[in-house]
Amino acid sequence: MEINKVETSSPNKVNVLITSEKNSKDFCEYDEQSETFMLIKVLSNPFPAYYGFIPKTHHIDGEPLDVLVLTDELLRQGIIIQARPVGLIRLRGKIPDDILIAVLSSEATKDLLSLEREEIEKLKNFLEELKKKEVENVFGSEHAMRSVEKAIELYRREFE
């Protein structure tokens, strides 16, 4: 899959390449050179949502913007879905690590901050374990869309 041919996202509708499936313990990354999914590590706890990234974005950490997609629909590794940003979880570090939280474009959730506190805590705990960093902040949809916009802009400045 030539990831650079994926349509550019917009701040309120993003294309997400799913790299790790919900309920799986396999943390995979997409390798553009070989066009395959590489197993990075096996986690002790399964993913609470689908994990992937937004092609044609560039975060300040030098990588595409990571995304957790909240849905009960069955998705598979390697597909590209259209999703809507509903929030963002920032992990503390020398360089902040932002994880976008999204839902399928057709789903009703409007904002991460409107979810049950227990659900937000589950996401925070999972990301802290996955990234080995503490959560610094949780933001709603407005901040998430601004982060997508910045990541698209940064990609364009660096690669187009």
HEC secondary structure over 121-160: HHHHHHHHHHHCCCEEEEECHHHHHHHHHHHHHHHHHHHC
Q: What is the pLDDT of residues 57-78, one digit of tens each?
A: 999 888 999 999 999 999 999 9
pLDDT for 28? 98
pLDDT beyond 80 at 1:
no
Region of 102 on the Ramachandran plot (φ > 0 left; ψ -120 to 50 alpha; else beta): beta
Host domain of residue 17: 3-159
Separation of alpha carbons 120 and 41, rounded Å: 24
pLDDT for 47? 98
pLDDT for 100? 98
Total domains present in the chain? 1
Residue 73 CB coordination number (10 Å): 11
Separation of alpha carbons 98 and 62, rounded Å: 12
Separation of alpha carbons 129 and 134, rounded Å: 9
Name the band, by pLDDT with cuts 50, 70 and 90, for residue 127.
very high
Supply the CATH number for residue 120's domain.
3.90.80.10
Q: What is the pLDDT of residues 92-106, one digit of tens each?
A: 989 989 999 999 998
pLDDT for 4? 80
From the list 16, 30, 20, the residue with the least C-alpha distance to 104 is 16
pTM of the model: 0.95
Separation of alpha carbons 121 and 129, rounded Å: 12
